[in-house]
Amino acid sequence: MIKKGLFVLFFGFLASSGFAQINISEDFMIERMMSKFIEINKAHPVVKGWRIQVMASTDRRKVEAAYASFAGRFPQYPCEWTHVKPYYKLRAGAFLTKLEAIAATNEIKRYYRSALPAFDANIRIEEILSH
């Protein structure tokens, strides 16, 4: 009889807990702060992070040739070359941490010995998320 009563009590508790509702109400200041946070992040869609500088040269043709070679060999790392006088720089990938960039650099160094991690303060969030 006691077992039957415990059984009914246990399953009655489980059945009643399945219909429980939880209401969360946040303070107005927190809601306002979160809205401001979203607004700021939409206005500045870039983050600080790391890229791999595959090479730098004053000869544009060398960088363009390396770009074509790199894109074929490492399609998982999107790359682009830029001109910062007097150098043309070939950079690849987008990483949040230096540790991730170092791991990828070690893989790339087998083919491009001058590759090194490079800090970049203007990485688009989409680039980070695409990995």
- Structural domains of the chain, ranges and CATH numbers in brackets: 46-129 (3.30.70.1070)
- The C-alpha atoms of residue 70 and residue 114 are separated, in whole angstroms, by 13
pLDDT score of 15: 56
Q: For residue 108, name the pLDDT band (cuts at 50, 70, 90).
A: very high
Q: For residue 13, name the pLDDT band (cuts at 50, 70, 90).
A: low
Regarding predicted confidence, which is higher, 120 or 13? Answer: 120
Q: For residue 45, name the pLDDT band (cuts at 50, 70, 90).
A: confident
Token couple for 111: 């083919």
In the three-class reduction of DSSP (H, G, I as helix; E, B as strand; rest coil), residue 30 is classed as helix
Residue 50's CB is within 10 A of a number of other CB atoms, namely 23
- The C-alpha atoms of residue 69 and residue 36 are separated, in whole angstroms, by 44
| pLDDT above 60 (res 89) | yes
Give the CA-trace dihedral at 97, 102, 103, 105, to 10 degrees: 130
Q: For residue 43, name the pLDDT band (cuts at 50, 70, 90).
A: confident
> What does residue 10 show for φ and ψ, rounded to 5 degrees?
-60, -50
- The helix or strand, by DSSP H or E, that contains position 77, with its residue range, turns out to be none
- The C-alpha atoms of residue 56 and residue 32 are separated, in whole angstroms, by 46
Q: For residue 10, name the pLDDT band (cuts at 50, 70, 90).
A: low
| pLDDT above 60 (res 70) | yes
Q: Considering the entire predicted model, what is its pTM?
A: 0.67
Lookup result for tokens 């939880």: 22
- The C-alpha atoms of residue 39 and residue 30 are separated, in whole angstroms, by 14
CA dihedral (78, 102, 49, 86) positive or negative: negative
| pLDDT above 70 (res 18) | no
